[in-house]
């Protein structure tokens, strides 16, 4: 498919993809309401997983298989497909419940993430479109380069959408950091900026959306993170005029079997490095 065909595919299915994120979000919130039955267990890497992660995974995978049956689905909760993305021309990167620790601990900034990754003729994988849902807030974001970025709400069976964009950096600089994975290296980086800083702690892909709608300026993540954690938020932020990089430059998805990235910096495009 060429670029125009991809844009048409996304536009045709945008509302269905948003509704899929909403369906997964509602399942998560039903399980959260029954807080005695979260079913928390630990995976091999010692990260937690709950009944809500699995329920959202099942809903999203079934929905994507129906909406875009030709596109590979790579979800955090299905390791069997992780390596297949290395040779795929297109695939969905899904984190059914990003911010499981926030979910367990009663915060509201956990998200549902679906990011579409495409591979260009040179083999570079880039995030083309993303949907980020906030189950506890009944709020959704979507976007990508050439598609803009939007904040969505669902009322009386209809989606309403509002365009969003990054804002010029503020003083003090609004730096959003991970609540659960804030490293000393990140704090040292913030100190090295040499400007007044307002430090904001948040969870999951919410940090990308905060920059995308002009509520933050910079998100440094200088500790390891997985591709499925960032693909959807990355796309939304780029659609809003921002950018995401590693210390080696742009992020290329699906280059190796491991999904682990060692660091990233997300920023408003108007913010100089």
CA–CA dist 10, 150 (Å, integer): 14
Residue 123 tokens, joined: 């083999």
Residue at a domain's end among 116, 136, 163: 163
Q: What percent of the chain has pLDDT over 70?
A: 98
Residue 174 tokens, joined: 């609004």
Coil, strand, or helix at residue 108? coil
The answer, yes or no, to whether residue 67 has pLDDT greater than 60, is yes
Same domain, 93 and 215: no
pLDDT tens string 98-146:
999 889 988 999 999 999 999 999 999 999 999 999 999 999 999 999 9
Sign for the pseudo-dihedral over CA of 209, 210, 215, 221? negative
Closest CA to 86 of 268, 258, 255: 255
Same domain, 86 and 49: yes
Confidence at residue 36, expressed as pLDDT on a 0 to 100 scale:
66
The answer, yes or no, to whether residue 79 has pLDDT greater than 80, is yes
Residue 99's domain comprises 3-163
pLDDT tens string 10-54:
999 999 999 999 999 999 999 999 866 788 888 877 788 999 999
Count of domains observed in the chain:
2
Same domain, 19 and 140: yes
pLDDT tens string 262-272:
899 999 977 65
Confidence at residue 119, expressed as pLDDT on a 0 to 100 scale:
95
């Amino acid at each position: 498919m060429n670029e125009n065909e991809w844009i048409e595919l996304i536009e045709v299915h945008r509302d269905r993809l948003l509704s899929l994120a909403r369906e997964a979000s509602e399942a998560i919130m039903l399980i959260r309401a029954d807080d005695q039955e979260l079913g928390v267990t630990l995976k091999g890497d010692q990260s937690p997983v709950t009944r809500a992660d699995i329920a959202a995974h099942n809903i999203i995978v079934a929905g994507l298989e129906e909406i875009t049956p030709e596109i590979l689905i790579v979800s955090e909760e299905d390791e069997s497909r992780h390596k297949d993305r290395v040779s795929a021309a297109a695939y969905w990167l899904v984190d059914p419940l990003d911010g499981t620790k926030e979910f367990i601990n009663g915060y509201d900034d956990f998200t549902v993430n679906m990011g579409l990754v495409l591979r260009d003729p040179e083999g570079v994988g880039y995030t083309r479109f993303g949907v980020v849902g906030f189950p506890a807030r009944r709020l959704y974001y979507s976007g990508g380069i050439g598609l803009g970025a939007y904040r969505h709400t669902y009322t009386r069976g209809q989606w309403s959408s509002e365009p969003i964009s990054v804002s010029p950096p503020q003083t003090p600089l609004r730096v959003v950091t991970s609540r659960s994975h804030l490293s000393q290296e990140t704090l040292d980086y913030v100190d090295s900026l040499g400007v007044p800083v307002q430090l904001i702690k948040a969870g999951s892909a919410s940090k990308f959306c905060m920059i995308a709608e002009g509520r933050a300026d910079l998100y440094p993540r200088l500790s390891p993170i997985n591709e499925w954690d960032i693909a959807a938020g990355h796309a939304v932020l780029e659609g809003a005029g921002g950018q995401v990089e590693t210390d080696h430059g742009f992020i290329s998805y699906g280059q190796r079997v491991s999904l682990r990235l060692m660091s990233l910096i997300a920023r408003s495009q108007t913010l100089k490095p």
